[in-house]
Amino acid sequence: MPNWCDNYIKIKGKREEIIKCIEGMKGYKALYKEDRENKEDLEKCYTFNATLEVPEEVLELGYAKAGYYWQKDNWGCKWDMLYESKYELDNILKELKSSIKEENEVKESESYNYLEERSYDKKHMKEVEFFVLSPWSPVDEWIRALSEKHRDLEFSLSFEISEEFLKGSATFKEGEYI
């Protein structure tokens, strides 16, 4: 049984960009050659693999020979995102989309206001936070890859492995540690 790492992830930026980022986290889990009969894994879900896909040659070699090392090096941990993150990410998406819809309905009912238009960027900036569990280590490499893919957003990671008395934090922008 692993020591679990608590990963608290914050994303800062425009709501529309955060929505694209979270929607982009949905995809198909890596399906290694030894698991290909397991058809229930073919359902779309939140997965590190949607951001940084395991190469076909690694899938062919199998998890034990190559997948473990590839995932550790490229995602920061040996296993994929746990299913429990789904509810939190779905709720964040729902809230963000709802706030945009409500704002559009209000805009349609009001007359044009130049000052409101100038403050567009401030009003549309948002910060969301969600939680991901990972075994033994933080998902820092996955966060770095997310920041490379979504260059207009800023990503912060705070992590803690309580059994090992280890904690830390990192912030990424445009694929770089800042």
pTM listed for this prediction: 0.83
Angle at 176 between CA 75 and CA 63, to 5 degrees: 15
Beta bridge partners of 133: 6
Model pLDDT, residue 17: 96
pLDDT greater than 90 at residue 100: no
pLDDT confidence of 107, banded at 50, 70, 90?
low
Mean pLDDT value across the chain: 87
Taking the C-alpha atoms of residue 83 and residue 71, their distance in angstroms, rounded to an integer, is 17
Can you read off the two tokens belonging to residue 103? 């704002």
pLDDT greater than 80 at residue 34: yes
Tens digit of each residue's pLDDT (9 = 90 or more) over 43-92? 889 999 999 999 999 999 999 999 999 999 999 999 999 877 888 899 99
